[in-house]
Chain A
Amino acid sequence: MVDWKWPEHRLPGYIKSHIHTDGIESEKGEFPLVPTFRLPTLIHSRSGNAKWLAEISNRNPLWMHTSDADRLGFKNDDLLRVNTEIGYFIVKVWVTESMRPGVVACSHHIGRWRRPQDPVANRWATNSVEILEIESGKWKMNVLDGIQATEGEDSDLSRIFWRDGGVHQNITHAVHPDPISGMHCWHQKVRLEKAHPGDRHGDLFVDTEQSFQVYKDWLANSRPAPGPDGLRRPLWFKRPLKPVMEKFYLK
């Protein structure tokens, strides 16, 4: 780490996260959002074609501890607007004791979509949505319809009883490249408020100019190669598809 310009991290240590409490104003409705938890019954984005799995898991509400809900005056199934750095999404809240106070969480997998012009697919799990580019870089997604029972060659299509379809939260996240590992740091600082009039469950908005700015901000924290001897990368680190040795050196 010293060789690569990070002497302060030469030993195992503690780095305060970008969502550390120091930067969270909870009285303003700010929370860290943990958007990463997986459900054991779904595949990342590949279970929309698996009817048994969609039948088991088909909602991704926002988990919130009872004490936080009481403090903010939210009830189960209230519609919330979750504001991220680059936009917002509309989701139902699930008030529960099974959650750490001061933190909210939302599972991924759910919130799959198709537009009216797209081929009909994944009917067990997709919302119908419209996507509008209001002006350059300002994107709005509106849910037109949730999941519907329908006719088809599989008679189980007519037995679909779930309607929710969930919300596509990842699309409202800015990129957060860790300057060392290169990991996308998934957690988001969000501000919660009651949904606005006209907001529908699953609707969302994103400004990609803003997301480009967040990218630039995080990029500025990197400490680029070369390392010792003009290296692009430590030779002893793994790298998929290792090129010839001379390519490891910057000329």
Chain B
Amino acid sequence: MSLKPKLGLIEKFAEGIGLIPKLNFEDGKIEPMNDPGDLSNYPPPEKWDDWVEYEPTKWSRKIKRHYTIVPTSCFNCESGCGLLSYVDKETGEVRKFEGNPYHPASRGRICAKGPATINQIKDPDRILHPMRRVGKRGAGKWERVSWDVVLDEIAAKIRKAIKEERNNEITYHVGRPGHEGFMDRVLQAWGVDGHNSHTNVCSAGARTGFALWDGFDRKMPDFANAEFILMISAHLESGHYFNPHAQRIIESKNSGTKIAVMDIRLSNTASRADHWMATYPGTEAAVLLAMAKIILDEGLYNEAYLRNWINWAAWLEADHPKTEISFENFILKLKEEYAEYTPEFAEQESGVTTQAVVDVARQIGRAGSRFSSINWRSASSGNLGGWQIARCLQFLNVLTGSLGTKGGSLPSSWNKYSPKMPNPPPPQKYWNELHFPKEYPLAHFEMSFLLPHFLKEGRGKIDVYFTRVFNPVWTFPDGFSWIEALRDTEKIGLHAALTPTWNETAYFADYVLPMGHASERHDIISYETHAGKWIAFRQPVLREVARRNGKAVKYTYETNPGEVWEEDEFWIELSWRIDPDGSLGIRDYFISPYRPGEKMTVDEYYQYIFERVPGLPEAAEKEGLTPLDYMRRFGAFEMEKEVLELHNKVLTEQQLYESLS
């Protein structure tokens, strides 16, 4: 490939009359900067401290820019892909975000929303100072206020509620979660049952269906090793963890894996499928059960797996007490149970042809333990009884024996790391019925979207309500009921919106508190994106640059724009102020694990966690780094490449005991 681009006519002309500087392509005088020869997509880490590129906005002038490259993690969807931030060494400005090739899930590839992080941090309308409402709530009048005032006022209100045992009146309602476990720690330190979420407008259906099988409320399909993949949704372009998953699905497809997709739209995903099944919404379970029937009738099931892992004897005993208990009778009765789900019935309900149902069912049966499936939101979140869709989908994995296997679907917690935190607080002594009301004992999880109706019915009130990256007025159904609840100060005493940017819910807050974007705060991330197990770091990029330059930084807001804080430091500081003399026992959980009696810093918090990640201290030592410095430098660490077949591992006495207790 030639490294000398040819000049166009216009460029030649412009060069000739001196309109633009001499481009010098033709005689090869433009200096190749980064070792031409092997094309490389990513700067190698040994050059991250001083990476040189031409200034892209004035490229023809050949101005060299020196960058320091700092890894962090994207926050624009749940995948948490690895980003590399390019910080101009001269101006200290973040110039762009690209993928981090050392991130085990995203492997350097990111979607359009990753690089757009630069838009968000440079957004001309972003909130730079804490704001307090003036006049009536929702009236649109605001004044600037200091962080000190904010922290003292909120802390005093929370302190009062806790002292009066109104712990259930404190709620933290989160949209896009993040800082894995940190918030649970804060809420339990306060002794409140105050976690509310977005789960029940998102994945409650799928979670319930999966959990009913084995207690694992989500599954991690090992797409990379699958022989047949069934996706209920436009998973390639917009599913949960779609970017890390899509890479692996397409790799699989390129090596011959067949794909079936149920989707009402000819989405990007459906267009890449071998079988597009445009099921009428909500009829997916009928189709899946017809497939189960075919697998049963044609003997394509995995007998050894079923014998071992299904409580078939218990079912026969309960539902068919007169039948002799044997595996053969189990199969017989199961066939009877599903006899009505013929492919013709599936066609009548869903519109998918009988032939397609049979065809896909057989391929699933033949793929056996290498059958991967996914349904996360989509059909399970659209329909009454949608949880049965996920349950029926997993039925196919059970019949084919493809749970926990290479190329099958794995329980998500196998591939997700739970960090060990310093001094965990005990469970709270409260049950908040605004979140977990009696009517929904099986819900996964908080009945978040009914909150305005619960308040309207007088089931309770909220004294302090935090919304964080959460915009129910806009995202949730029935937003006007949210507006009615939020504008009523009798129902919601104080509303603090933690958000980097204005939104429809923040308009109805008392305090709007600007928090950092992806590259302006700390966090840890570990998700079930593939058969491995990894942990990644989200770090405030300019704080890390300051550290590399030898500048002492105590708080992240020192390097953030305006007076933008990060959540971790906000919660530590707020907790400290709720318990000024330590009498509530809250301070105990925010004491440094390294400096007895002193307030914990975020550096210490992450240092503590990273020192306990299996394999990380050793990997760091090889680089001559501490575990924390390793994560600051590389941004991610893979602790295991493949976690498979754990169900077939024989436990020691000790492990068995621990799993029971």
The answer to whether A and B assemble together is yes
The residues of A with any CB-CB pair to B shorter than 8 Å are 1-2, 4, 9-21, 32, 34, 36-53, 56, 63, 86, 97-100, 102-103, 105, 108, 112-115, 117-123, 137, 139, 152-154, 157, 168, 170-171, 173-187, 206, 208, 211-212, 215, 219, 222, 224-227, 231-234, 236-244, 247-248, 250
Which secondary structure dominates chain A's binding surface? loop
- The reply on B208 being an interface residue by CB < 8 A is yes
Starting from the known contacts A13-B392, A37-B238, A243-B430, 7 additional A-B residue pairs (CB-CB under 8 Å) come to A17-B382, A40-B242, A46-B471, A49-B125, A99-B264, A240-B195, A241-B427
Q: Are A237 and B442 in contact (CB under 8 A)?
A: yes
A-B contact pairs, 9 of them (CB 8 A): A41-B111, A117-B140, A168-B474, A177-B440, A177-B449, A184-B477, A211-B478, A233-B442, A240-B197
B326 to chain A minimum Cβ distance, whole angstroms, is: 19
A163 to chain B minimum Cβ distance, whole angstroms, is: 19
- The reply on B446 being an interface residue by CB < 8 A is yes
CA distance A168 to B341 in the complex (A): 39
Q: Are B193 and A243 in contact (CB under 8 A)?
A: yes
CA distance A239 to B427 in the complex (A): 12
Which secondary structure dominates chain B's binding surface? loop
Q: Which of B6-14, B39-47, B373-381, B559-567 contacts A (4 or more CB under 8 A)?
A: B373-381
A114 interface neighbour in B77, B382, B387, B502, Cβ under 8 Å: B502
Write out the residue numbers on chain A whose beta carbons fall within 8 Å of the beta carbon of B386.
17, 178, 181, 183, 185
CA distance A32 to B279 in the complex (A): 13
Q: Are B385 and A16 in contact (CB under 8 A)?
A: yes
Write out the residue numbers on chain B whose beta carbons fall within 8 Å of the beta carbon of A42.
113
Q: Are B445 and A103 in contact (CB under 8 A)?
A: no
Q: Which residue of A lies closest to B121 (CB)?
A: A49
Q: Are B383 and A208 in contact (CB under 8 A)?
A: no
Q: A49-B126, A154-B122 are known contacts. Are A242 and B427 too (CB-CB below 8 A)? A: yes
B240 to chain A minimum Cβ distance, whole angstroms, is: 10
A206 to chain B minimum Cβ distance, whole angstroms, is: 5
Q: A154-B122, A233-B441, A250-B438 are known contacts. Are A181 and B204 too (CB-CB below 8 A)? A: yes
CA distance A245 to B599 in the complex (A): 31
Report the 6 A-B pairs with minimum CB-CB distance, sorted nearest first.
Answer: A15-B385, A182-B443, A17-B282, A117-B140, A121-B502, A171-B479
CA distance A153 to B266 in the complex (A): 41
Write out the residue numbers on chain B whose beta carbons fall within 8 Å of the beta carbon of A86.
478
Q: Which residue of A lies closest to B236 (CB)?
A: A40
Q: Are B445 and A240 in contact (CB under 8 A)?
A: yes
CA distance A233 to B120 in the complex (A): 41
Write out the residue numbers on chain B whose beta carbons fall within 8 Å of the beta carbon of A225.
438-439, 441
Q: Which residue of A lies closest to B351 (CB)?
A: A100
CA distance A179 to B385 in the complex (A): 8
Q: A36-B381, A180-B387 are known contacts. Are A175 and B76 too (CB-CB below 8 A)? A: no
Q: Are B484 and A243 in contact (CB under 8 A)?
A: no
Q: Are B212 and A1 in contact (CB under 8 A)?
A: yes
- The reply on B95 being an interface residue by CB < 8 A is no
B385 interface neighbour in A17, A37, A117, Cβ under 8 Å: A17
Q: Which residue of B lies closest to A104 (CB)?
A: B264
Q: Are B440 and A182 in contact (CB under 8 A)?
A: yes
Q: Are A236 and B387 in contact (CB under 8 A)?
A: no
Write out the residue numbers on chain B whose beta carbons fall within 8 Å of the beta carbon of A114.
502, 504, 507
Considering only residues 426-444 of chain B, those with a C-beta below 8 Å from chain A are 426-431, 436, 438-444
Considering only residues 126-148 of chain B, those with a C-beta below 8 Å from chain A are 126-127, 139-142
Q: Are A177 and B450 in contact (CB under 8 A)?
A: yes
Q: Are B392 and A14 in contact (CB under 8 A)?
A: yes
Write out the residue numbers on chain A whose beta carbons fall within 8 Å of the beta carbon of B354.
none
In this complex, which of B127, B205, B456, B477 has the most chain A Cβ atoms within 10 angstroms of its Cβ? B477
Q: Which residue of B lies closest to A250 (CB)?
A: B438
Considering only residues 313-366 of chain B, those with a C-beta below 8 Å from chain A are 318-319, 337, 341, 349, 351
Q: Which of B54-62, B283-291, B414-422 contacts A (4 or more CB under 8 A)?
A: B283-291
Q: Which residue of B lies closest to A157 (CB)?
A: B124
CA distance A215 to B450 in the complex (A): 8
Q: Are A105 and B289 in contact (CB under 8 A)?
A: no
Write out the residue numbers on chain A whose beta carbons fall within 8 Å of the beta carbon of B282.
16-20, 32, 187
CA distance A236 to B444 in the complex (A): 12
- The reply on B112 being an interface residue by CB < 8 A is yes
Write out the residue numbers on chain B whose beta carbons fall within 8 Å of the beta carbon of A4.
441-442
Write out the residue numbers on chain B whose beta carbons fall within 8 Å of the beta carbon of A63.
265
Q: Are A224 and B439 in contact (CB under 8 A)?
A: yes
- The reply on B116 being an interface residue by CB < 8 A is yes
CA distance A50 to B63 in the complex (A): 28
B378 interface neighbour in A2, A36, A181, Cβ under 8 Å: A36
A238 interface neighbour in B187, B211, B381, Cβ under 8 Å: B211
Q: Are B234 and A50 in contact (CB under 8 A)?
A: no
B265 to chain A minimum Cβ distance, whole angstroms, is: 6
Interface string of B268-299 (1 = CB under 8 A from A): 10000000001011110110010010000000
- The reply on B577 being an interface residue by CB < 8 A is no
Q: Are B388 and A44 in contact (CB under 8 A)?
A: no
Write out the residue numbers on chain A whose beta carbons fall within 8 Å of the beta carbon of B474.
45, 112, 168, 170-171
Q: Are A14 and B439 in contact (CB under 8 A)?
A: no
B271 to chain A minimum Cβ distance, whole angstroms, is: 9
CA distance A232 to B431 in the complex (A): 10
Q: Are A183 and B204 in contact (CB under 8 A)?
A: yes
CA distance A243 to B441 in the complex (A): 15
A182 interface neighbour in B217, B426, B442, B481, Cβ under 8 Å: B442
Interface string of B492-518 (1 = CB under 8 A from A): 000000001111100100000000000
Write out the residue numbers on chain B whose beta carbons fall within 8 Å of the beta carbon of A49.
119-120, 123, 125-126, 500-501
Q: Are A45 and B383 in contact (CB under 8 A)?
A: no
Write out the residue numbers on chain B whose beta carbons fall within 8 Å of the beta carbon of A113.
504
CA distance A184 to B477 in the complex (A): 8
Write out the residue numbers on chain B whose beta carbons fall within 8 Å of the beta carbon of A117.
139-141
Write out the residue numbers on chain B whose beta carbons fall within 8 Å of the beta carbon of A115.
140, 507
Q: Which residue of B lies closest to A171 (CB)?
A: B479
Write out the residue numbers on chain A whose beta carbons fall within 8 Å of the beta carbon of B302.
none
- The reply on B255 being an interface residue by CB < 8 A is no
Q: Which residue of A lies closest to B391 (CB)?
A: A12
Q: Are B392 and A12 in contact (CB under 8 A)?
A: yes
CA distance A42 to B77 in the complex (A): 9
Write out the residue numbers on chain B whose beta carbons fall within 8 Å of the beta carbon of A112.
474, 504
A73 to chain B minimum Cβ distance, whole angstroms, is: 23
CA distance A123 to B501 in the complex (A): 11
Write out the residue numbers on chain A whose beta carbons fall within 8 Å of the beta carbon of B501.
46, 48-49, 121-122
Write out the residue numbers on chain A whose beta carbons fall within 8 Å of the beta carbon of B292.
12
CA distance A111 to B108 in the complex (A): 32
- The reply on B64 being an interface residue by CB < 8 A is no
Q: Are A183 and B380 in contact (CB under 8 A)?
A: yes
Write out the residue numbers on chain A whose beta carbons fall within 8 Å of the beta carbon of B211.
237-238
CA distance A244 to B533 in the complex (A): 30
Q: Which residue of B lies closest to A245 (CB)?
A: B427
Q: Are B476 and A170 in contact (CB under 8 A)?
A: yes
- The reply on B395 being an interface residue by CB < 8 A is yes
Q: Are A18 and B116 in contact (CB under 8 A)?
A: no
B387 interface neighbour in A183, A227, A247, Cβ under 8 Å: A183
B387 to chain A minimum Cβ distance, whole angstroms, is: 4
Write out the residue numbers on chain B whose beta carbons fall within 8 Å of the beta carbon of A215.
450, 453
Write out the residue numbers on chain B whose beta carbons fall within 8 Å of the beta carbon of A40.
111-112, 237-238, 242, 268
Q: Are B265 and A98 in contact (CB under 8 A)?
A: yes
- The reply on B207 being an interface residue by CB < 8 A is yes
CA distance A66 to B59 in the complex (A): 48
